[in-house]
Amino acid sequence: MLKISVSTNWQNDLIPLVSREPVDEFYGKLAQDFVGGGRPAYSIPQVSRKAAVFHINEAKRFGRAFNYLLNATCLNNMELTRQGQKEICFLMDWLEGLGVERCTVAIPYLLEMVKKRYPRFKVYISTSSRVDSLERARHWEDLGADGIILDSVSVNRDFQLLRQLRSEVKCELVLIANVNCLYDCPFKNYHCTAISHASQSGAASKGFFMDYSSLMCGYLRVKHPVNFIRADWIRPEDLSLYEKIGIDRIKLVDRTMPTEFIAAVTTAYINRRYEGNLLDLFANCQKKLMYNKIDFFRKMKYLFHPLRINLYQVSKLKDLAFDIFYLDNRALDGFLEHFPNNGCRLKSCQDCRYCQDFAERAIKVDRALQRKLIDRYEQYLSRVISGDIFKYF
């Protein structure tokens, strides 16, 4: 049976709510630590180490493992300095003392370091490492990886590759199911590196981050809604196809969301069925992020930087959510049947038009509202690209 990894928002009501088979682990990290990870510090709930300890112990009490994320793609070369070594070991010692036995990394050196010095840990390779070939997977496995979270923007529908990986690689293979990023996203490497620095406690940016990559990703989906279809998501109804191949686990995102969202997404994948708007299962299509009054004031320390950016211009960034789009999940029945024998790597999307045909049937949107949303994105991106957003005069 496919196991499920669930993101944590550090809210203690989440654990008893979703601790059902086949969920066997929660994953997450502090908003900031020395290593950093895959979300900017301002976007995820702030939690003290004391509260994190309680939360991790709760997961263990319910019989679930905890996977701590150390998935930054760049540490500014600090990992190979005396101070960096000290900081990494301080963090790992803390995790080991809590009884955490799983972590996720994106840097080969961190994989080898953890396996050598903390052999109790099972180490997974982050999707940020973009494992999308057999040889790349073998390299990671040879370095000691216990599991690989495959590239979330290019692999999920490449069934030929998935079958080959399963026959040649012994370690656990993991796919992220509810992603809605651009297919073969050109921004991913840059985005992962930028986010890494936006979640590191010692970074010069101090957590400040202008998310150009997400803005561009959103704009290209709003302007060309077929990108909602081309994205490498896996519907709850289609999990059996991956189970037959031998994929070991699916991972569900996102840590930025409230408990009710995470629970609803997890339930849909446990039940292997969802009725309604498929976009409801994607965090980057949601308006409702994890905010409360205390978190708001804590987040302001990352975002309130009047000497780095024009705060008046930033205030114009609003109402860019995708709630005007409806992606009918029932209209996608049978969609994935095309892919086991038809790959995308050697085809042009413009010539193929398979996803375009489904988009025309499955996506509903008010065209007038779509045009307004495109205009808002273009206006804001113009300020970012021209540099006006950083100027006062």
pLDDT digits (tens, 9 = 90+) for 105-119: 999 999 999 999 999
Q: Which residues pair with 251 in a beta bridge?
A: 5, 176
Nearest 5°: phi and psi at 275?
-105, 130
Which pLDDT belongs to residue 306?
A: 65
Task: State how far the Cα of 357 lies from the Cα of 152, in Å rounded to an integer.
Answer: 23
C-alpha R_g of the chain: 21
Which pLDDT belongs to residue 330?
A: 97
pLDDT digits (tens, 9 = 90+) for 278-298: 999 998 766 554 444 445 555
Residues contacting 306, CB < 8 A, separation 6+:
none
Which pLDDT belongs to residue 342?
A: 87
Q: Write out the chain's pLDDT in tens, 393 residues.
A: 899 999 999 999 999 999 999 999 999 999 999 999 999 888 888 899 999 999 999 999 999 999 999 999 999 999 999 999 999 999 999 999 999 999 999 999 999 999 999 999 999 999 999 999 999 999 999 999 999 999 999 999 999 999 999 999 999 999 999 999 999 999 999 999 999 999 999 887 777 788 899 999 999 999 999 999 999 999 999 999 999 999 999 999 988 899 999 999 999 999 999 999 999 999 876 655 444 444 555 566 666 666 677 677 766 666 677 789 999 999 999 999 999 988 888 888 888 999 999 999 999 999 999 999 999 999 989 988 998 888 887
Which pLDDT belongs to residue 304?
A: 63
Task: State how far the Cα of 2 lies from the Cα of 304, in Å rounded to an integer.
Answer: 43
* Structural domains of the chain ordered from first start: 3-390 (3.20.20.70)
CA distances from 156 to 132, 145, 150, 340, 341 (A): 10, 20, 8, 11, 14
pLDDT digits (tens, 9 = 90+) for 140-188: 999 999 999 999 999 999 999 999 999 999 999 999 999 999 999 999 9
